[in-house]
């Protein structure tokens, strides 16, 4: 048995409260438009007529004026609740009961979708159906006025002429349900709080308090199959101020000790300014992750371990100094930016990537048998001695172990790169950079505004078949090994 409550005048919140007093299985179809699963309630209230009268009495007690109908299908109950104040239809007789109803009522429910929560605004009158509905105008041109007229037509012919929308209207005209009832799921809060008997200061006593708060919160997440996406911490201080911190997690997690470690590491950099007398922890829930490991690839560390490691490194090195380097959209040689470290998920498919180089882009395919050429730049440029004949390098030597150099068999270049001359501090290099080309120091994290650079670059292949990129600083005439091709 399904009941429908269609609010004519009153508060939608009060109508939802009335429905939930009878059954927890309630679907909100619109403002004041409710469906109730009343299965089994006849044992408590008597027959269906007594149950309908009791539902009407409860609505009137809250100052509501509503249409109420009980039927075997939700479609028939919704249509009848819009037409008469109180109707009870025996299961199996829905089609004759709705046959006399106007087609405009079907247009009122044909395109409705279930809501996940009750609307908060008030409704004081019936909703009106737009007379210009395309299908409604079509049926009226056919001479159809009631639901029975539409139900009498062959379903196959309706589907052939009007498609799935016409077939949907035909089934509604017969009082048949198109889907099962979908109950309202109340918003569930994942939050834990603890009032302290005495104020505490420092991270050591706070660590025990956080664990007491996070353990029941983690158990609640596990029971619901959820994980924490964002972690919120509110510390109520003795000064009546609130110290708030939020941590966005890289993956859904619910391990209490890991969450406590992340909070403590964040508080090391952003400590509370006064003693704490109340601790509140809340999370933004998300469906828990499902891991699918691969038989061919080595498993990556868990997100909990990665998050803890990154939090420790950030607390040690400072904000913005830990993460993944990405190439910056700039002409500066070696320029890069730091982004959030986010390794790929377990079992993620491999994609084609691109290795960026100053003058070319070499496509890399992990599943291809073709070899790829990439430049492995030295973290610090290697000073070199280069002999030049006819404006071309003919021999390269270096004191670095493993880079002895030799005669140049092939060379390409030069490529002249320059920039940064528009800055006022151009040419003023730090002392540590005075013996290397400015172009090789601009990508160092935390270097600030880069100075000017001006150099000529060559690609040379030596007698040992190794290929290097060498650079000459045009300001000083010094030569350096910029990188090696692999």
Say how far apart CA 288 and CA 254 lie, in whole Å. Answer: 9
Confidence tier at 333 by pLDDT (50, 70, 90): low
Mark which of 309, 339, 364 sits at the end of a domain. Answer: 364
Q: Considering the domain boundaries, does residue 292 fall inside one?
A: no
- pLDDT score recorded for residue 234: 93
- If you compute the radius of gyration of the chain from its CA atoms, what whole number of angstroms results? 36
Say how far apart CA 105 and CA 75 lie, in whole Å. Answer: 11
Confidence tier at 366 by pLDDT (50, 70, 90): very low
pLDDT at 210 over 50: yes
- pLDDT score recorded for residue 302: 65
Which SS3 state, helix, strand or coil, does residue 39 take? coil
Q: Considering the domain boundaries, does residue 268 fall inside one?
A: yes
Can you tell me the mean pLDDT for 285-299?
69
Mark which of 173, 200, 219 sits at the end of a domain. Answer: 173
Residue that has been written with the tokens 């009495």 in this structure: 57
Number of folded domains that form the chain? 4
Residue that has been written with the tokens 């006064």 in this structure: 274
| Integer angstrom CA distances of residue 160 from 145, 154, 155, 156 | 21, 10, 9, 6
Q: Are residues 200 and 151 in the same domain?
A: no
Which SS3 state, helix, strand or coil, does residue 3 take? strand
Q: Are residues 13 and 131 in the same domain?
A: yes
- Token readout for 297 is 């690839």
Q: Are residues 281 and 162 in the same domain?
A: no
Helices (H), 84-200: 94-98, 103-109, 134-141, 147-151, 155-173
Q: Look at 28-32, 187-191, 371-375 and tell me which has the smallest mean pLDDT.
A: 371-375
DSSP lists the bridge partners of residue 278 as 195, 236
* Crossing angle for the helix pair 155-173 and 74-83, to the nearest 10 degrees: 60
Q: Are residues 352 and 437 in the same domain?
A: no
Say how far apart CA 183 and CA 372 lie, in whole Å. Answer: 57
Q: Considering the domain boundaries, does residue 94 fall inside one?
A: yes
Q: Are residues 355 and 384 in the same domain?
A: no
With CA atoms as reference, report the closest residue to 40 among 25, 59, 29: 25
pLDDT tens for each residue of 430-480: 333 334 444 433 333 333 344 567 788 888 888 778 888 888 888 788 888
Mark which of 112, 142, 173 sits at the end of a domain. Answer: 173
- pLDDT score recorded for residue 278: 92
Burial group, residue 250, by CB count within 10 angstroms (0-12, 13-18, 19+): middle
- pLDDT score recorded for residue 236: 93
Of all residues in the chain, the percent with pLDDT exceeding 90 is 10
- Token readout for 386 is 């280069």
Q: Are residues 351 and 423 in the same domain?
A: no
Say how far apart CA 466 and CA 412 lie, in whole Å. Answer: 14
Q: Considering the domain boundaries, does residue 28 fall inside one?
A: yes
Q: Are residues 66 and 117 in the same domain?
A: yes
Q: Which positions ≥6 away from 60 have C-beta within 8 Å?
A: none
Say how far apart CA 168 and CA 178 lie, in whole Å. Answer: 8
Q: What is the CATH number of the domain that holds 89?
A: 3.30.70.270
Q: Which long-range contacts (CB under 8 A, 24 or more apart) does 385-388 make?
A: 385/479, 386/470, 386/472, 386/479
Q: Considering the domain boundaries, does residue 316 fall inside one?
A: no
- Token readout for 113 is 């979708």
- Token readout for 273 is 């300014």
Report field, pTM of the whole predicted structure over 0.75 = no
Spatial contact of 406 and 463, defined as CB atoms under 8 Å apart: yes
pLDDT at 113 over 70: no
Say how far apart CA 357 and CA 335 lie, in whole Å. Answer: 11
Please give the full DSSP string across 363-424, using - where no structure is assigned.
Answer: EE-TT--S----EEEEEEEEEEEEEEETTEEEEEE-SSTT--EEEEEEEEEEEEEEE-TTST
- Token readout for 325 is 């380097």
Q: Are residues 168 and 58 in the same domain?
A: yes
Say how far apart CA 167 and CA 169 lie, in whole Å. Answer: 5
Q: Are residues 358 and 383 in the same domain?
A: no
Average pLDDT taken over every residue of the chain: 77
Strands 86-88 and 65-71: parallel
The DSSP code for 451 is -
Of all residues in the chain, the percent with pLDDT exceeding 70 is 77
- What number of CA atoms fall less than 13 Å from residue 471's CA on the CB side? 26
Can you tell me the mean pLDDT for 202-212?
89
Chain-centroid distance of CA 396 in Å reads: 53
Q: Are residues 160 and 28 in the same domain?
A: yes
Residue 359: domain span = 325-364
pLDDT at 116 over 50: no
My answer on whether omega of the bond before 414 falls inside 30° of 0, hence cis, is: yes
Q: Are residues 278 and 401 in the same domain?
A: no
Say how far apart CA 467 and CA 408 lie, in whole Å. Answer: 10
Angle at 405 between CA 402 and CA 409, to 5 degrees: 135
Confidence tier at 367 by pLDDT (50, 70, 90): very low
Say how far apart CA 201 and CA 241 lie, in whole Å. Answer: 15
Confidence tier at 279 by pLDDT (50, 70, 90): very high
Q: Considering the domain boundaries, does residue 370 fall inside one?
A: no
Residue 213 dihedral angles phi and psi, to the nearest 5°: -80, -40
Burial group, residue 8, by CB count within 10 angstroms (0-12, 13-18, 19+): middle
Q: Considering the domain boundaries, does residue 442 fall inside one?
A: yes
- pLDDT score recorded for residue 412: 83
pLDDT tens for each residue of 245-256: 998 887 788 888
Spatial contact of 37 and 2, defined as CB atoms under 8 Å apart: yes
Q: Considering the domain boundaries, does residue 298 fall inside one?
A: no
Q: What is the CATH number of the domain that holds 204?
A: 3.30.1490.100
Can you tell me the mean pLDDT for 135-160?
89
Q: Are residues 164 and 244 in the same domain?
A: no
Angle at 203 between CA 201 and CA 205, to 5 degrees: 70
């Amino acid at each position: 048995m399904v009941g429908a409550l269609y609010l004519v005048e009153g508060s939608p919140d009060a109508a939802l409260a009335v429905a939930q007093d009878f059954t927890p299985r309630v679907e909100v179809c619109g403002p004041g438009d409710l469906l109730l699963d009343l299965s089994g309630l006849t044992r408590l209230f008597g027959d269906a007529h007594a149950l309908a009268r009791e539902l009407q009495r409860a609505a009137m007690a809250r100052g509501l004026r509503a249409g109420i109908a009980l039927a075997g299908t939700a479609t028939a109950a919704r249509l009848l609740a819009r037409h008469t104040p109180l109707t009870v239809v025996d299961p199996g007789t829905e089609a004759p009961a709705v046959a006399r109803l106007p087609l405009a009522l079907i247009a009122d429910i044909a395109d409705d979708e279930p809501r996940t929560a009750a609307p908060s605004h008030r409704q004081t009158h019936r909703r009106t159906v737009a007379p210009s509905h395309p299908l409604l105008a079509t049926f009226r041109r056919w001479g159809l006025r009631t639901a029975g007229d539409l139900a009498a037509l062959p379903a196959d012919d309706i589907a052939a002429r009007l498609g799935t929308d016409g077939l949907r209207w035909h089934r509604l005209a017969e009082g048949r349900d198109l889907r099962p009832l979908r109950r309202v799921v109340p918003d569930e809060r994942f939050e834990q709080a603890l009032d302290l008997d005495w104020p505490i200061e420092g991270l050591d006593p706070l660590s025990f308090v956080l664990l007491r708060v996070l353990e029941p919160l983690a158990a609640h997440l596990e029971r619901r199959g959820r994980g924490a996406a964002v972690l919120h911490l509110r510390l109520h201080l003795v000064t009546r101020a609130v110290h708030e911190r939020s941590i966005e997690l890289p993956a859904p997690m619910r391990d209490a000790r890991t969450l406590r470690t992340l909070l403590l590491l964040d508080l090391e950099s952003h400590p509370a300014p006064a003693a704490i007398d109340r601790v509140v922890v809340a999370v933004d829930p998300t469906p828990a992750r499902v891991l699918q490991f691969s038989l061919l690839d080595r498993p990556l560390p868990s997100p909990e371990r990665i998050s803890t490691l990154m939090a420790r490194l950030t607390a040690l090195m400072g904000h913005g100094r830990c993460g993944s380097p990405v190439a910056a959209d700039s002409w500066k040689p070696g320029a890069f930016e730091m982004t959030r470290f986010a390794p790929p998920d377990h079992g993620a498919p491999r994609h084609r990537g691109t290795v960026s180089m100053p003058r070319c882009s070499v496509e890399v395919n992990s599943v291809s048998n073709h070899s790829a050429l990439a430049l492995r730049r030295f973290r610090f440029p290697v000073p070199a001695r280069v002999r030049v004949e006819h404006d071309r390098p003919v021999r390269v030597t270096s004191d670095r172990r493993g880079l002895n150099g030799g005669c140049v068999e092939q060379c390409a270049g030069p490529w002249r790169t320059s920039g940064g001359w528009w800055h006022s501090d151009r040419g003023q290099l730090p002392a540590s950079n005075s013996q290397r080309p400015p172009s090789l120091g601009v990508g160092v994290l935390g270097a600030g505004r880069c100075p000017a650079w001006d150099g000529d670059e060559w690609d040379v292949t030596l007698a040992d078949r190794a290929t290097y990129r060498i650079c000459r600083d045009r300001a000083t005439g010094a030569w350096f090994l910029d990188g090696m091709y692999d």
